[in-house]
Amino acid sequence: MTDRAVRRPASTARSFWGALPLLTLIIMIGPVLAGLFGTVLPAFGYLPAAGLGAFSIAPFTDLFAWNGIWAATRLSVTTGFAATFLSLAIVTLLMAGWSGTRALRWLETLLSPLLSVPHAATAFGIAFLIAPSGWIARMISPWLTGWDRPPDVLITQDPLGIALTLGLVTKEVPFLLLMALAAKGQSASTQRMRVAQSLGYGRVSGWLKSVFPVIYAQIHLPVLVVLAYSMSVVDVAMILGPTTPPPLSVQVVKWMSDPDLSKRLIASAAALWQLALVIAALGVWWIGERITARLGLAWVERGARNLRLDKTARPLGITLGTVSALSVLLGLLCLGVWSFAGFWGYPDALPQSLTPKNWARHWPDISDSLITTLLIAALSVAVAVTLVIACLEAEHRTGRSLSQKGLWLIYAPLLIPQIAFLPGVQTALLITGATSGFWPVSLMHVVFVLPYVFLSLTDPWRNWDPRIDTIARSLGTSPTRVLFTLRLPMLLRPILTAAAVGFAVSVGQYLPTLLAGGGRVATLTTEAVALSSGGDRRAIGAFGVAQTLAVIAPFAIATLLPYWMWRNRKGLHG
């Protein structure tokens, strides 16, 4: 503390609030940078752990000499772009064709809980659904298809990564749709549409021309997150992706776990290559945005009303949206059925018998990992929510709001592929003498939970009516009292929702838990993915269902708790 600060308490307070955003950034970006550092060194041959201390570019020459490198690279790029483009297209069609309709509200209700379901559980469900011996084939065989035996066709794990892409799309559509719906509130879309329609524009073309540019500007970063994530995902790719060769990110994990330690060098080189690919892809997407904007402007200026577009675009949008939602829901249902299944041979549409035996058998494991999962999630969410509220309050008190650059930093942990820095985190933890386990895992979770909590809480926080603050302060209430007695209680619902989102993010983390936990920390997600290699559908089903419940429950609490707490505060039920 400086002399000046001691003499002038007001200034102390100000510098305290001013330092909070910096502290938050350090907590978030610190591990990412440390991890990247721990990846760069071995990528250039420096890994004393394996007795390798000479810098060289040999890891990169080895990487590009691997004969699967181009196939793996192609997979990463194509699945990334295809999944992002398809998800964005479906969301755009839905919003353009169905904004403000009951159908979209219904779909939104259906999709919002799906957002929180961990990727791994969704991927398992879809795999159980679409495999040649999956639920869909079982339901229509043999009476319709004549398949007495499952057809020998490659559906999941196809070399083009189509199953992987579709699996990602079903998860990214709810994410982008909810982001777009949130952006809609600030886009004056109703007024824009009213103007467009009174000028004779069709619903879809009017929306695309007058509303889409505003909304896209707001969901631009989330779209980039989807792109970076889809290119480098590990758990979904392990479940639905091809294996001969696997996508680049999965290959990195394979090399990381090779008994031959020198393989870590090529793994690190590949991780950096993955990072370079993601950066290049973000650049290409950025150029694509510029080109689209140019072409779109020309399209808008031509002034065509495109009324016929509605006839094709609207049914297409709602069909794709519904199929996407249903495939996740049916997949989860399929997990549930498998978790209670006795013997279930092909082509029976349902198991020969239902039995609680699977649950009884797996319950000890499930309950242990459930407790760990909940503890880690609760801790990381508590830290993240506290930091985010502190940052937002600091923004309010210092009057300095987050710049565009600051927003990029918030997104950094989501834009940098996990596989590029988490292996380095593991090495860094060991070198600093911190044993891996519960605390490092919780800290790593904060890194990924914080951005989502920030994103979901910022708008409601900023939209809080500042006049309430002015009145309270003019009545002599201190800023801290305003925060605790007015702002926080009034924002209880969005705070709980943000916490539930953070909770879901924490529950779904696979790589951070695995690598920072050194294998000692078993959560529902690490257990489920470990089981996936064994292919025991009953066990996977039980863990998938447990995972799903672990994220749905917080959302239910976030929805119901305000009703109970405000049972006699009618004005707070928005």
Residues in contact with another protein by the rule CB under 8 A: 48-50, 66-68, 71, 131-133, 149-150, 152-154, 156-159, 242-245, 256-261, 264, 341-346, 361-362, 364-365, 426-427, 430-440, 518-520, 522, 527, 529-539
Taking the complex as a whole, how short is the minimal distance between the CB of residue 361 and another protein, in angstroms? 7
- Check: CB of residue 410 under 8 Å from CB of residue 24: no
Closest CA to 98 of 225, 226, 253, 207: 207
CA 205 remoteness from chain centre: 30
Taking the complex as a whole, how short is the minimal distance between the CB of residue 427 and another protein, in angstroms? 7
Nearer to another protein, 35 or 321 (CB): 35
Nearer to another protein, 187 or 274 (CB): 274
Alpha-carbon dihedral sign for residues 194, 199, 205, 208: negative
Nearer to another protein, 215 or 528 (CB): 528
Closest CA to 250 of 78, 501, 394, 76: 76
Nearer to another protein, 346 or 464 (CB): 346
- Check: CB of residue 272 under 8 Å from CB of residue 189: no
Taking the complex as a whole, how short is the minimal distance between the CB of residue 24 and another protein, in angstroms? 21
Closest CA to 243 of 116, 154, 168: 154
What does the buried/exposed string (b/e) look like for 380-410 if buried means 16 or more CB atoms within 10 Å of the residue's CB?
Answer: bbebbbebbbbbbbbbbbeeeebeeeeeebb
- Check: CB of residue 341 under 8 Å from CB of residue 539: no
Nearer to another protein, 432 or 568 (CB): 432
Taking the complex as a whole, how short is the minimal distance between the CB of residue 332 and another protein, in angstroms? 19
Residue 420 burial (CB count, 10 A): 26
Taking the complex as a whole, how short is the minimal distance between the CB of residue 558 and another protein, in angstroms? 28
* Cα–Cα distance measured from residue 44 to residue 73, given in angstroms and rounded to the nearest whole number: 20
Taking the complex as a whole, how short is the minimal distance between the CB of residue 350 and another protein, in angstroms? 14
Nearer to another protein, 242 or 321 (CB): 242
Taking the complex as a whole, how short is the minimal distance between the CB of residue 429 and another protein, in angstroms? 9
Taking the complex as a whole, how short is the minimal distance between the CB of residue 560 and another protein, in angstroms? 32
Nearer to another protein, 98 or 510 (CB): 510
The end-to-end CA distance of the chain, in Å, is: 44
- Identity of residue 463: N
Taking the complex as a whole, how short is the minimal distance between the CB of residue 254 and another protein, in angstroms? 8
Distances from the Cα of 247 to the Cα of 71, 244, 276, angstroms: 8, 9, 15
Taking the complex as a whole, how short is the minimal distance between the CB of residue 364 and another protein, in angstroms? 7
- Check: CB of residue 97 under 8 Å from CB of residue 310: yes
Nearer to another protein, 201 or 255 (CB): 255
DSSP state of 50: G
- Check: CB of residue 209 under 8 Å from CB of residue 300: yes
Nearer to another protein, 169 or 234 (CB): 234
Closest CA to 187 of 217, 214, 223, 206: 214
- Check: CB of residue 242 under 8 Å from CB of residue 35: no
* Cα–Cα distance measured from residue 480 to residue 273, given in angstroms and rounded to the nearest whole number: 48
Nearer to another protein, 87 or 339 (CB): 339
Nearer to another protein, 476 or 535 (CB): 535
- Check: CB of residue 72 under 8 Å from CB of residue 139: no
* Cα–Cα distance measured from residue 206 to residue 200, given in angstroms and rounded to the nearest whole number: 9
Beta bridge partners of 52: 47
Token pair of 346 as six digits: 């092909």
* Cα–Cα distance measured from residue 117 to residue 550, given in angstroms and rounded to the nearest whole number: 9
Nearer to another protein, 49 or 280 (CB): 49
DSSP state of 246: P
Taking the complex as a whole, how short is the minimal distance between the CB of residue 536 and another protein, in angstroms? 5
Taking the complex as a whole, how short is the minimal distance between the CB of residue 155 and another protein, in angstroms? 9
Taking the complex as a whole, how short is the minimal distance between the CB of residue 519 and another protein, in angstroms? 5
- Check: CB of residue 518 under 8 Å from CB of residue 400: no
Nearer to another protein, 77 or 95 (CB): 77
